[in-house]
Chain A
Amino acid sequence: MNQMSAPAIVSHKLRAWSGVPALLLALLAVFLLHIAVGAKPLPIQTVIEALTGFDSTNFDHVIIRNLRLPRAVIAIVVGASLSLAGALMQGVTRNPLADPSLLGLTSGAAFAVVVSTALFGAAGLALIPWIAMAGALGAAAIVYLIARLVPGGATPLSLTLAGAAISAFLGAVISVIHLLNQDTFENLRVWLTGGLAGRDIALLAYVGPWMALALLAGIVLAARVTLLAMGDEVAQGLGIRTGLLKAQLLAVVVVLSAGSVALAGPLGFIGLVIPHVVRLYVGSDYRWIVPYAALAGAAYLVSVDIVARIAIPPREISTGIITAMIGAPLFVHLVRRRTR
């Protein structure tokens, strides 16, 4: 029996790792394609040349380096961040419906950015991530407090309901600010639908390192999330300091959500849907779900952004609209699968 099961687990581990190169390859492919397509389609050959041997006198290379590469990198970072944050939140709250937008983090960050823009005009670039972070943290705190006031405490259900209520409320306030303040509306209209167009590379340089750090921390903490998903007492019995771990995970999730909002506006459904798709392939251990969700989320958002850019030329659709249009039916499908 022992001799049977030992190779079984080895092959299991191999299978667990085997998807990584495939996903990396897929990500590289859509990344190159993302850069190649657009108003002026460029051959993949040129894209690779621009990335490996940049020539500043070549106009195509300049387009790639200054316009297209930043957008592709932002899509990767934001896609990975939202998906990983969603996976962590689903584990911690033991709620398969958890994701940054459902628990109020995204709308909190968006709300803070809109309010500060309405009050102080276009906020300084460097401040946007901090404002978004404060908003996300504030919304998370309010959601948690409301959920705790419900009889029975902060259960997955009360957290989801409180998150939905706060998201709806903040959304309404954002709409009111729009109506009252035309300038803000014009500045933020596209941003609020979640878009990757015209994003500033300087902002990426500013928040990118923080988000990379948070992604890494999320992957390191992933194995512990499985223990947490088995209940606080089980986790404590296995030597986890659950309070500390939850605080660390909250910090990771807030940085990733707020950073994503700062870079791309509120993008929905990625954090919800991608981890569920990943589960179908790697099972229920967060040790695997989390890194896979990051890779798959990145590849997914890059792909979606390709569609956003080329669907109705010469105009562009907001990326957030496409993630919702693809994500919503996908989500319904997943829910139907689970309930069967």
Chain B
Amino acid sequence: MSRLETIGLRAGYADVTILDKIDLVIPDGQVTILIGPNGCGKSTLLKNMARILKPSRGNVLLDGKDIHTLNTRAVAAQLGLLPQGPIAPEGLTVRELVAQGRYPHQSLLRQWSRADEDAVNTAMRTAGITDFADRAVDTLSGGQRQRCWVAMVLAQDTGLILLDEPTTFLDLKVQVDLMELFTGLAHDRGHTLVIVLHELSLAAAHADHLVMMKAGRIVASGRPDDIFTARRLKDVFGLDANILRDPASGRLVCVPFSARRRVEAAQ
């Protein structure tokens, strides 16, 4: 039994179908990574699963119930979302930003509790941003800022965490650090993560469950070892690449090449 799944999901505008026949089961306590070329619908799928877009057909089930029929604030206590490229209001401090993640747990009468306080401190420690808790978010570097947003979602204290391209525009080192943080959340603390990612090697290295999408459909899903192959990358992305295995970590690495160069080298 999985907490989050989609059944026959379909989404799109008037004539344009963005998603079609999406049946996806998100394994609990694992990192699921969605990859696919630009415009393949992976972000749309994530937003449908996060209930901020409504599918035209099919359902997203959270604990077996249609997520779009549930109280959205109650869902927010179960499922956190970090959208693409969020912007903090000018001057908002790191602590204030992270504290916003507690909103689903508060009410008019119960404004700020010990539990809120603890969750915010824990989230900031996990994301490694405690040192600049009182600085304004907009004065930080891109990598630090992204850590703040991750901390906000962590403070929300949800079993399910959905992240839309959380590493885009960041240095490789920062990308790797964030991915390590995410896999740690899944493997050490039992969170379930769904991440939309652009970096193929990063996806292959960190996914427990890899989902490849093309033109609104799921083309392949499974363990990277099983589906992250040169032929699939050619099919899904139109990308010519070799898949190598890093001898040290045992992880798969995607090395793109130019078809022309290869012919030249062979001659």
Give chain B nearest CB distance to A201 CB in angstroms: 34
Give chain A nearest CB distance to B34 CB in angstroms: 17
For residue B41, which residues in chain A have a CB less than 8 angstroms away from its CB?
none
For residue A223, which residues in chain B have a CB less than 8 angstroms away from its CB?
103
- Find residues 230-255 in chain A having any chain B CB closer than 8 Å to their own CB: 230-231, 233-234, 236-241
Nearest CB to that of B52 among chain A residues?
A236
- CB <8 Å contact, A226 and B121: no
Task: Indicate whether B134 reaches chain A with its CB closer than 8 angstroms.
Answer: yes
Binary A-proximity of B95-134 (CB < 8 A = 1, otherwise 0): 1110011011000100010000100110011000010011
Task: Indicate whether B250 reaches chain A with its CB closer than 8 angstroms.
Answer: no
Nearest CB to that of B85 among chain A residues?
A231
Task: Indicate whether A39 reaches chain B with its CB closer than 8 angstroms.
Answer: no
Give chain A nearest CB distance to B89 CB in angstroms: 4
- CB <8 Å contact, B92 and A238: no
For residue A233, which residues in chain B have a CB less than 8 angstroms away from its CB?
47, 52, 81, 83, 86
- CB <8 Å contact, B80 and A237: yes
Give chain A nearest CB distance to B55 CB in angstroms: 15
Do A230 and B86 form a contact, CB below 8 Å, given A9-B117, A238-B156, A285-B92?
Answer: yes
Task: Indicate whether B57 reaches chain A with its CB closer than 8 angstroms.
Answer: no
Do A239 and B76 form a contact, CB below 8 Å, given A8-B134, A9-B117, A285-B96?
Answer: yes
- Find residues 173-228 in chain A having any chain B CB closer than 8 Å to their own CB: 220, 223-224, 226-227
Give chain B nearest CB distance to A29 CB in angstroms: 29
Give chain B nearest CB distance to A132 CB in angstroms: 30
Give chain B nearest CB distance to A273 CB in angstroms: 16
Task: Indicate whether B91 reaches chain A with its CB closer than 8 angstroms.
Answer: yes
Give chain B nearest CB distance to A245 CB in angstroms: 11
Complex: A50 Cα to B145 Cα, angstroms: 57
Complex: A318 Cα to B112 Cα, angstroms: 44
Q: How many residues of B contact A (CB 8 A)?
A: 42
- CB <8 Å contact, A230 and B87: yes
Q: How many contacts between A and B, using CB within 8 angstroms?
A: 94
- CB <8 Å contact, A283 and B75: no
* Chain A interface size range: 20 to 34
Do A237 and B95 form a contact, CB below 8 Å, given A2-B121, A91-B89, A229-B89?
Answer: no
- CB <8 Å contact, B90 and A230: no
Task: Indicate whether A65 reaches chain B with its CB closer than 8 angstroms.
Answer: no
Task: Indicate whether A1 reaches chain B with its CB closer than 8 angstroms.
Answer: yes
Binary A-proximity of B55-82 (CB < 8 A = 1, otherwise 0): 0000000000000000011111100111
Task: Indicate whether A5 reaches chain B with its CB closer than 8 angstroms.
Answer: yes
- CB <8 Å contact, A226 and B89: yes
- CB <8 Å contact, B81 and A239: no
Do A284 and B91 form a contact, CB below 8 Å, given A227-B100, A231-B86, A239-B104?
Answer: yes
Complex: A236 Cα to B153 Cα, angstroms: 13
Do A238 and B101 form a contact, CB below 8 Å, given A5-B133, A283-B92?
Answer: yes
Give chain A nearest CB distance to B110 CB in angstroms: 12
Task: Indicate whether B50 reaches chain A with its CB closer than 8 angstroms.
Answer: yes
For residue A94, which residues in chain B have a CB less than 8 angstroms away from its CB?
87, 89
Task: Indicate whether A279 reaches chain B with its CB closer than 8 angstroms.
Answer: yes
Binary A-proximity of B26-66 (CB < 8 A = 1, otherwise 0): 00000000000000000000010011100000000000000
Nearest CB to that of A12 among chain B residues?
B95
Complex: A233 Cα to B51 Cα, angstroms: 10
- CB <8 Å contact, B108 and A220: yes
Binary B-proximity of A94-118 (CB < 8 A = 1, otherwise 0): 1010000000000000000000000
- CB <8 Å contact, B72 and A241: yes
Give chain B nearest CB distance to A147 CB in angstroms: 19
Task: Indicate whether B192 reaches chain A with its CB closer than 8 angstroms.
Answer: no
For residue A239, which residues in chain B have a CB less than 8 angstroms away from its CB?
72-77, 103-104
Nearest CB to that of B93 among chain A residues?
A283
Complex: A5 Cα to B120 Cα, angstroms: 10
Give chain B nearest CB distance to A8 CB in angstroms: 7
Do A284 and B92 form a contact, CB below 8 Å, given A230-B100, A231-B83, A241-B72?
Answer: yes
User: Quick one: which of A2, A12, A226, A234 has the most chain B CB within 10 A?
Assistant: A234
Contact of B100 among A6, A8, A238 (CB under 8 A): A238
A-B contact pairs, 8 of them (CB 8 A): A6-B117, A9-B120, A230-B88, A230-B100, A231-B83, A236-B52, A241-B72, A284-B92
Kindly list 10 other residue pairs between chains A and B, CB separation below 8 angstroms, not including A12-B95, A234-B81, A238-B76: A2-B125, A6-B121, A96-B90, A223-B103, A227-B100, A230-B87, A233-B81, A237-B81, A240-B72, A284-B89
